[in-house]
C-alpha cells in the first residue's frame, strides 16, 4: 500500500467513492473491487446504469457470486433507495456472508436541483443506515469526466473513503456531523395556493390538493397516490405538529408540489426510509409518502418546526 493510504478498520461498514473518467477507468476500479470480494468469498450486488451493466456483464457473465439488479425498480425518489439496498444485500448475504455493493447514481439525469440535493443526502444517509452492518461495504463510482470539482467535492463529503489506484484512502473531507447541511428550500413559485388546517380539515385538504393537481395536469392515477400521501402527512401535522399546519400548492418546472408546514420536530434522520415492520404501530406516514411520490423533501429543526414537500412529476 502506498504511503498516505489508510484502510478502513475491519468490522464496520465501508463506504467508498470512486471518481473515474471513461469506461476503461470504470472497469479497472469496479473489477478490482469485485475481485477483492471474490478472493474473500464475498457476494457482490451491482446496481449501475444499463450501459455500465453491459460493460461488467461482458467480463463477469458467468460469475455466480455477482448479481446485477434493476435500479429502476426503486423508482426516481432517493428516499426509496436505502430500503432497496437493504433488501438486495440481505438477500445475497445468506447467513453471515459478507456482501459488497456497487452503486452508481445517474447524477446527470437528476430532474431538478431538489432531486440532486436529495441524491446527495441519500449518499450521506447510507453511512447511518448501514453503520451496524459490518459485513457490508459499498463502492460508489462517479463519472468525473466533466471536471466539475464543486460537484465532486459535495459528493466526497458523503463518503468516508475514496478509492484511488485500487486502494482505500481515508477522506479527510468526509462530513462527520450528526446532521446533514441541507440547502435552504426555495420559495414557492407564484402563484401558489395556501390553506391553514387543523383537526377535522382532512377532507378540505384532499379537495384542495385534488383541484390544484388536476389543474396542473396530474393524471387520475397520480391523484389517487397523492391523496394517500397528503392524508398521511396532514394527519402527522395535526397529531405531532401542534394540532394545526399550513398547506401550500404550486407548479414549478413540470412538477406539482404540496408543502406542509407545522411546529413539530422529526429527530430521526432515517424517518420514512426504512420499511416498517409488519407489526409496527404507527410511523408509516413518511414511508408511504416516499413510496407514492416522485420526491419528498423534509426539513425539520427543534426551533423552526417541520416542512415537508411532496413532488409529483407532471406528465409531458
All 3 cell numbers of residue 38? 471474490
- Measured CA to CA, the distance from residue 251 to residue 162 in angstroms comes to 39
| pLDDT, average across residues 285-314 | 96
Sequential DSSP letters for 92-117:
HS-TT--EEEEE---GGG--SHHHHH
In this structure, the answer to whether residues 208 and 260 fall within a common structural domain is yes
In a domain, 98, yes or no: yes
pLDDT digits (tens, 9 = 90+) for 18-45: 999 999 999 999 999 999 999 999 999 9
Q: What pLDDT band is residue 133 in, cutting at 50, 70 and 90?
A: confident
- The structural domain count of the chain equals 2
Helices (H), the chain: 22-39, 50-60, 81-92, 113-129, 149-156, 202-216, 220-240, 285-292
pLDDT digits (tens, 9 = 90+) for 201-248: 999 999 999 999 999 999 999 999 999 999 999 999 999 999 999 999
Q: For position 23, what pLDDT does the model report?
A: 95
Q: For position 192, what pLDDT does the model report?
A: 94
Q: For residue 229, give the CATH number of its domain.
A: 3.30.565.10
Helix, strand, coil abundance in the chain, percent, nearest 5: 40, 25, 40
In a domain, 9, yes or no: no
Residue 29, domain extent:
14-170
pTM as predicted: 0.91
Q: For position 183, what pLDDT does the model report?
A: 85
pLDDT digits (tens, 9 = 90+) for 186-203: 899 889 999 999 999 999
Of 135, 170, 205, which marks where a domain is finished? 170
Q: What pLDDT band is residue 267 in, cutting at 50, 70 and 90?
A: very high
Nearest CA-CA partner of 306 in 227, 245, 224: 245
In this structure, the answer to whether residues 84 and 152 fall within a common structural domain is yes
| pLDDT, average across residues 276-280 | 83
In this structure, the answer to whether residues 282 and 148 fall within a common structural domain is no
Q: At what angle do helices 50-60 and 22-39 cross, to 10 degrees?
A: 50
Nearest CA-CA partner of 40 in 15, 60, 16, 65: 65
> Which one-letter DSSP state was computed for residue 92?
H
| pLDDT, average across residues 142-170 | 89
Q: For position 85, what pLDDT does the model report?
A: 95
Regarding predicted confidence, which is higher, 5 or 83?
Answer: 83
- Measured CA to CA, the distance from residue 93 to residue 75 in angstroms comes to 24
Residues in the chain, total: 316
For residue 265, is pLDDT > 90?
A: yes
In this structure, the answer to whether residues 153 and 286 fall within a common structural domain is no
For residue 151, is pLDDT > 60?
A: yes
CB 50 within 8 A of CB 28: no
Least confident of 138-142, 173-177, 288-292: 173-177
Q: For position 10, what pLDDT does the model report?
A: 46
CB 51 within 8 A of CB 7: no
Of 105, 136, 170, which marks where a domain is finished? 170
In this structure, the answer to whether residues 164 and 222 fall within a common structural domain is no
CB 81 within 8 A of CB 25: no
Q: For position 278, what pLDDT does the model report?
A: 83
In this structure, the answer to whether residues 165 and 222 fall within a common structural domain is no
| pLDDT, average across residues 79-98 | 90
Q: In Å, how far are 115, 144, 222, 260 from 307, measured between CA atoms?
A: 16, 33, 22, 6
| Residue 152: alpha-carbon gap to chain centroid | 17
Least confident of 33-42, 93-102, 225-234, 306-315: 93-102
All 3 cell numbers of residue 174? 468526509
Q: For residue 84, give the CATH number of its domain.
A: 3.40.50.300
Cα first-last separation, the chain? 52
Q: What pLDDT band is residue 4 in, cutting at 50, 70 and 90?
A: very low
20 — phi, psi (to 5°)?
-140, 170
In a domain, 178, yes or no: no
In a domain, 124, yes or no: yes
Regarding predicted confidence, which is higher, 1 or 81?
Answer: 81
Q: For position 61, what pLDDT does the model report?
A: 80
Q: For position 51, what pLDDT does the model report?
A: 92
As a whole number, the mean pLDDT across the chain is: 90
Q: For position 1, what pLDDT does the model report?
A: 31
In a domain, 2, yes or no: no
In this structure, the answer to whether residues 135 and 211 fall within a common structural domain is no
Amino acid at each position: 500500500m502506498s504511503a498516505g493510504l489508510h484502510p478502513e478498520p475491519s468490522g464496520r461498514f465501508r463506504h467508498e467513492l470512486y471518481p473515474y473518467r471513461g469506461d476503461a477507468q470504470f472497469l479497472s476500479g469496479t473489477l478490482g473491487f469485485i475481485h477483492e470480494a471474490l478472493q474473500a468469498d464475498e457476494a457482490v450486488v451491482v446496481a449501475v446504469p444499463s450501459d455500465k451493466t453491459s460493460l461488467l456483464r461482458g467480463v463477469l457473465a458467468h460469475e455466480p457470486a455477482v448479481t446485477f439488479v434493476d435500479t429502476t425498480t426503486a423508482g426516481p425518489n432517493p428516499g426509496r433507495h436505502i430500503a432497496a439496498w437493504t433488501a438486495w444485500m440481505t438477500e445475497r448475504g445468506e447467513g453471515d456472508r459478507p456482501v459488497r455493493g456497487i452503486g452508481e447514481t445517474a447524477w446527470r439525469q437528476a430532474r431538478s436541483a431538489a432531486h440532486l440535493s436529495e441524491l446527495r443526502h441519500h449518499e450521506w444517509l447510507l453511512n447511518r443506515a448501514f453503520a451496524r452492518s459490518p459485513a457490508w461495504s459499498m463502492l460508489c463510482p462517479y463519472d468525473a469526466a466533466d471536471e466539475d470539482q464543486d460537484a465532486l467535492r459535495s459528493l466526497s463529503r458523503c463518503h468516508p473513503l475514496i478509492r484511488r489506484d485500487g486502494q482505500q484512502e481515508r477522506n479527510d473531507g468526509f462530513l462527520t456531523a450528526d446532521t446533514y447541511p441541507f440547502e435552504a428550500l426555495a420559495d414557492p413559485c407564484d402563484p401558489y395556493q395556501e390553506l391553514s388546517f387543523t383537526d377535522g380539515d382532512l377532507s378540505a385538504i384532499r379537495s384542495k390538493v385534488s383541484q390544484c393537481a388536476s389543474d396542473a395536469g396530474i393524471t387520475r392515477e397520480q391523484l389517487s397516490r397523492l391523496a394517500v400521501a397528503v392524508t398521511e402527512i396532514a394527519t402527522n401535522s395535526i397529531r405531532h405538529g401542534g394540532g394545526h399546519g399550513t398547506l401550500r400548492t404550486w407548479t414549478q418546472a413540470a412538477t406539482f408540489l404540496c408543502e406542509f408546514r407545522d411546529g413539530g420536530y422529526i429527530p430521526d434522520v432515517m424517518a420514512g426510509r426504512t420499511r416498517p415492520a409488519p407489526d409496527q404501530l404507527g410511523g408509516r406516514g413518511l414511508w408511504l409518502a416516499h413510496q407514492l411520490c416522485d420526491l419528498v423533501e423534509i426539513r425539520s429543526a427543534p426551533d423552526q418546526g417541520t416542512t415537508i414537500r411532496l413532488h409529483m412529476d407532471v406528465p409531458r
